Amino acid sequence: MTPAQQSLVDEIRARFGERAAITDAADIEPWLTDWRGRWHGRAGAILQPSSTREVAAIVGLAGERGIALVPQGGNTSMVGGATPPEDGSALILSLRRMNRIRSIDPAAMRVEAEAGVILQSLHEAVAADGIRFPLTLGARGSETVGGLISTNAGGTQVLRFGPMRTLVDGIEGVLPDGTIHSGLSGLKKDNRGTSIDQLLIGAEGTLGVVTAARLKLFPALHSRAVAWLGLGSPQAALDTLRVLESETDRIEGFEILPDESLKAVLSHVAGTRAPLGEDHGWHALVEAVADSSKVEPPAELLARLLAPLIECGLIEDATISSSEAQAEAFWRIRDSLSEAERATFGPATQHDISVPVDAMPRFMDEAAREVERSFPGVHASGFGHLGDGNIHFHVRAGERGGPDWLRREGPAVTRLVHDLVTAAGGSISAEHGIGVMKKEELERLSPDRVRILRAIKRSLDPKTVMNPGKLV
């Protein structure tokens, strides 16, 4: 630690107790590397405030002394967003101790949760009141409310509920100069200029620290059913989704994956089983729900809507979960994809991209062909949230492999994929954010956007206290 960092840590401990800072190297180590293991930083301490007042004091002091802070929740960022810089110039500001659910209001259908509340704990807490928070994703056992807001996370329920931004009703946060912003009053209408809440959503910790949020809740599901479909192509999957959407508004999830990804899960994740008897080129997982007992049960709804699509050959085969355990087993396959691919396929460049929904099947096909033509021997494919026009498009080293493939060729592959996405009117970051991973690419492909983001950053954080080196 530099002398300035040490004196900040000493002052924070003196004011807020020993627990407010961790300096033991072994305790810090697990939080220095990102989830994918691609970025490794250094930090002499993890500051861990227990209240908004403490966060404000820490940010204020850090600003006065020119010490940068890296806000961190569950450290599940896919883009190195929560990893400190390599030179040790920043301290980590962990929100994990701020993990209280302040209130649940079933009448207003709102929950007020601190930034460090883990998504799964939030699900469980509101479920006890017979309501639910719908956003969910694979890392729900680790990721936090603050991280979800700061990355405007998506997940598997966006089709019906939108991303995190649409589920936030108010934010409490600390701005880079230590000012506390409180947006938790629950006002339905508030037009006092540009929304500060909205500035903090998706800002990746570069414009301030989210300390708590008021989030929208929805009636608990009465029941759900999950269908697993065998399909010939992403286009067949999209055509299926369009038919389902024209018949019902009760489809909550629609995810696709190629057969090789299913096989990766089956070989890597203990206890998983192939949902269908035969092989299919593509698979889709479809979730239908019922909010009450008065509507057609989801399994019957799916059976009724899918039968004609099987008959006409659009769907090759399908099975519908007959129990909650089976529905969970189908989702477990989907949720294990990232982990299984990482363990099974070796080096790959990963691209979290979006294009207009109807253009996605063609994009997947053409982009895969173009990448494989330009880099003979690689294999390109995608999986994910087809219904949102968001695919995780991965290019695997294949025959071009070797330990240094990522370093040697990865950037060129990524540039090609991003050029194709941009030409298709899409986004190089659909839901994971920019972090350190996509910073240069954002600047290359969206210079006007970066200019505006930098102007906002400069005016709110002129001393670059918050998350240096990320986003812009």
Ligand X SMILES: Cc1cc2nc3c(=O)[nH]c(=O)nc-3n(C[C@H](O)[C@H](O)[C@H](O)COP(=O)(O)OP(=O)(O)OC[C@H]3O[C@@H](n4cnc5c(N)ncnc54)[C@H](O)[C@@H]3O)c2cc1C
Return the amino acid letter for 143.
E
Residue number with CB closer to ligand X (144 or 321): 144
How far is the C-alpha of 433 from the C-alpha of 35, rounded, in Å?
Answer: 14
CB of 222 to ligand X, least distance (A): 25
Largest distance between two CA atoms of the chain? 73
| Token pair of 165 as six digits | 């931004």
Residue number with CB closer to ligand X (68 or 137): 137
CA angle 383, 388, 394 (to 5 degrees): 25
Residue number with CB closer to ligand X (316 or 352): 352
How far is the C-alpha of 145 from the C-alpha of 167, rounded, in Å?
Answer: 11
Residue among 405, 411, 338, 418 at smallest CA distance from 377: 405
Residue among 388, 269, 276 at smallest CA distance from 339: 269
Residue number with CB closer to ligand X (197 or 431): 431
CB of 348 to ligand X, least distance (A): 15
Q: Give the pairing of strands 90-94 and 68-72.
A: parallel
CB of 78 to ligand X, least distance (A): 5
Using left for φ > 0, alpha for ψ between -120 and 50, and beta otherwise, residue 66 falls in left
Q: Which residue has the tokens 């033509």?
A: 373
Residue among 149, 289, 132, 159 at smallest CA distance from 217: 132
CB of 329 to ligand X, least distance (A): 17
- The DSSP string of 315-341 is SSEEEE-SSHHHHHHHHHHHHTHHHHH
CB of 140 to ligand X, least distance (A): 8
CB of 245 to ligand X, least distance (A): 21
CB of 114 to ligand X, least distance (A): 9
Residue number with CB closer to ligand X (55 or 395): 55
Residue number with CB closer to ligand X (79 or 301): 79
Binding residues vs ligand X (CB under 6 A): 35, 70-78, 81-82, 95, 115, 137-139, 142-144, 146-148, 150-151, 153-155, 204-205, 209-210, 338, 431-432, 467, 470
Residue number with CB closer to ligand X (154 or 230): 154
Residue among 204, 154, 229 at smallest CA distance from 391: 154
CB of 430 to ligand X, least distance (A): 8
How far is the C-alpha of 276 from the C-alpha of 283, rounded, in Å?
Answer: 10
SS3 of 49, please?
Answer: coil
Residue number with CB closer to ligand X (175 or 227): 175
